[in-house]
């Protein structure tokens, strides 16, 4: 098994290996809402599937753009929809041509992949595993000094992935001010719906260097449809729109995305479920001598303790039980011994704890 995979969610590979249906795999490696898609979204698919498959979708997802912009409290001119946030991550380096970028690590691997594909020069700035510096004020000073070297793009996850931590708001806005006139600060808010009060979208108007990435696939459990967005200055959005081919957001994704915008009760249930699941997993996994990092999202970063089996053995033993977890060995800044697990429903969380207890206690 290849332990340097760039992403989780490889249920089809494991199912093929074990001779199982992919639905039989318990996937803790991808961070998808355990409630599944909203029922209204599923109903729309049932009712309109035939039409949506036969018709070309709106080429620029106009209705979805307007609906999401209204929900976010910004102008549609400041919003671009994409075939997942990953498409937009890869699109960003192209509008400037080649340049210099800084990635705050550990971080989502697609930042680097998109920059490398565009031929950019890339540098790292390392933060603690959980994604939150101990002294935000001191860290802001270090980063502001570093930004004086000149970076066209700076990438930072908030909440952090894989750590789950939530970098200090004033630290991030301080970076946005420092980037003004130099380049863009790209904040990845793919998991912000799990802590929506922390979004920096309301700060866009005051910070011309700020660009925010978002995703509808994690919170609304629709990764198979691929649906993400970028919010930022109108001139940046317009330039990116010119580079983006038409129809990148398919008709199914547009219709389901619209249905997801009015799901307040679903959102409350989701956040309550994740909060309870986090508390349970944090308590039970700490009892197994795992270090559990605080998280604002629907996943937890874990560190194995001395005496535990190697991370590769843990991952493989769990895989043999049809349980997928995320080996974090390929994240820059994380040494051997880190795992990430999604927070799921109670019975699934209990299965994970029991399986980990068995694997970690082997002679």
Peptide bond into 162 cis (omega under 30): yes
What distance in Å separates the CA atoms of residue 107 and residue 80, rounded to the nearest whole number?
A: 23
Q: Residue 183 above 70 pLDDT?
A: yes
Arithmetic mean of pLDDT, 66-91: 97
Percent of the chain exceeding pLDDT 70 equals: 97
Fold agreement (11-38+265-360, 39-260): no
Q: What is the predicted pLDDT for the residue at 63?
A: 97
Q: Are strands 338-342 and 326-327 parallel, antiparallel or unpaired?
A: antiparallel
Write the DSSP assignment of 317-360 as a string of letters: HHHHTTEE-EE-TTSTT--SSEEEEE---HHHHHHHHHHHHHHH
What residues does each domain of the chain span?
Answer: 11-38+265-360, 39-260
- Is domain 39-260 in CATH 1.25.40.10, yes or no? no
Confidence of residue 5 (pLDDT cuts 50, 70, 90): very low
Q: What is the predicted pLDDT for the residue at 3?
A: 33
Write the DSSP assignment of 173-218 as a string of letters: HHHHHHHTTT-EEEEE-TTGGGSGGG-SGGGGGG-TTEEEEEESTT
- Report the predicted TM-score, pTM, of the whole model to 2 decimal places: 0.94
Which residues fall within 8 angstroms of residue 11, CB to CB, at 6 or more apart? Answer: 22, 25, 27, 324
What distance in Å separates the CA atoms of residue 104 and residue 127, rounded to the nearest whole number?
A: 7
Q: Which residue has the higher pLDDT, 160 or 8?
A: 160
Q: How far is the CA of 260 from the CAs of 64, 67, 227, in angstroms? A: 10, 10, 11
Q: What is the pLDDT of residues 316-356, one digit of tens each?
A: 999 999 999 999 998 999 988 999 999 999 999 999 999 99
Residue 92 DSSP class: G
CB 215 within 8 A of CB 84: yes
Residue 24's H or E segment, with its range, is none
Q: Residue 15 above 80 pLDDT?
A: no
Q: Residue 247 above 90 pLDDT?
A: yes
Kindly report the backbone phi and psi dihedral angles of residue 115, in degrees, each rounded to the nearest multiple of 5, phi listed first: -70, -45
Give the chain's mean pLDDT: 93
Q: What is the pLDDT of residues 107-161, one digit of tens each?
A: 999 999 999 999 999 999 999 999 999 999 999 999 999 999 999 999 999 999 9
Q: What is the pLDDT of residues 212-234, one digit of tens each?
A: 999 999 999 999 999 999 999 99
Confidence of residue 69 (pLDDT cuts 50, 70, 90): very high
Confidence of residue 2 (pLDDT cuts 50, 70, 90): very low
At 26 the three-state DSSP class reads: strand
Number of Cβ atoms within 10 Å of the Cβ of 339: 24
Confidence of residue 362 (pLDDT cuts 50, 70, 90): low
- Is domain 11-38+265-360 in CATH 3.90.1150.10, yes or no? yes
The pair of structure tokens assigned to 253 is 């994704």
Q: What is the predicted pLDDT for the residue at 24?
A: 79
The pair of structure tokens assigned to 73 is 């409290």
CB 14 within 8 A of CB 318: no
Q: Residue 274 above 90 pLDDT?
A: yes
Terminal Cα-to-Cα distance of the chain (whole angstroms)? 23
């Amino acid at each position: 098994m290849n332990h340097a995979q760039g992403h989780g969610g490889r249920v089809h590979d494991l199912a093929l290996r074990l001779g199982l249906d992919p639905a039989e795999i318990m996937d803790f490696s991808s961070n998808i809402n355990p409630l599944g898609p909203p029922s209204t979204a599923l109903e729309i698919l049932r009712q309109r599937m035939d039409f949506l498959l036969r018709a070309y979708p709106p080429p620029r997802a106009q209705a979805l753009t307007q609906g999401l912009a209204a929900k976010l409290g910004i102008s549609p001119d400041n919003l671009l929809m994409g075939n997942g946030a990953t498409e937009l991550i890869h699109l960003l380096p192209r509008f400037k041509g080649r340049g210099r970028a800084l990635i705050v690590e550990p971080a989502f691997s697609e930042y680097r992949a998109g920059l490398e594909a565009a031929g950019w020069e890339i540098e790292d700035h390392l933060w603690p595993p959980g994604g939150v510096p101990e002294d935000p004020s001191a860290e802001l000073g270090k980063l502001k000094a570093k930004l004086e070297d000149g970076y066209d793009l700076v990438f930072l996850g908030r909440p952090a992935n894989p750590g789950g931590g939530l970098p200090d708001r004033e630290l991030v806005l301080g970076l946005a001010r420092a980037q003004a006139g130099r380049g863009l600060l790209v904040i990845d808010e793919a998991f912000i719906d799990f802590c929506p009060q922390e979004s920096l979208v309301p700060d866009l108007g005051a910070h011309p260097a700020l660009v925010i990435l978002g995703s509808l696939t994690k919170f609304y459990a629709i990764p198979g449809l691929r649906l993400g967005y970028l919010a930022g200055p109108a001139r940046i959005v317009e330039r990116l729109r010119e580079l983006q081919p038409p129809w990148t957001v398919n008709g199914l994704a547009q219709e389901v995305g619209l249905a997801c915008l009015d799901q307040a009760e679903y959102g409350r249930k989701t956040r309550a479920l994740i909060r309870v699941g986090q508390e349970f997993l944090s308590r039970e996994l700490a009892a197994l001598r795992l270090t559990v990092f605080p998280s604002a999202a629907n996943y937890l970063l874990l560190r194995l303790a001395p005496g535990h089996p190697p991370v590769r053995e843990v991952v493989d033993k769990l895989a043999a039980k049809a349980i997928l977890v995320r080996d974090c060995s390929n994240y820059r800044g994380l040494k051997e011994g880190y795992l990430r697990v999604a927070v799921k429903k109670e019975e699934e969380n209990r299965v994970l704890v029991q399986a980990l207890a068995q694997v970690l206690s082997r002679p």
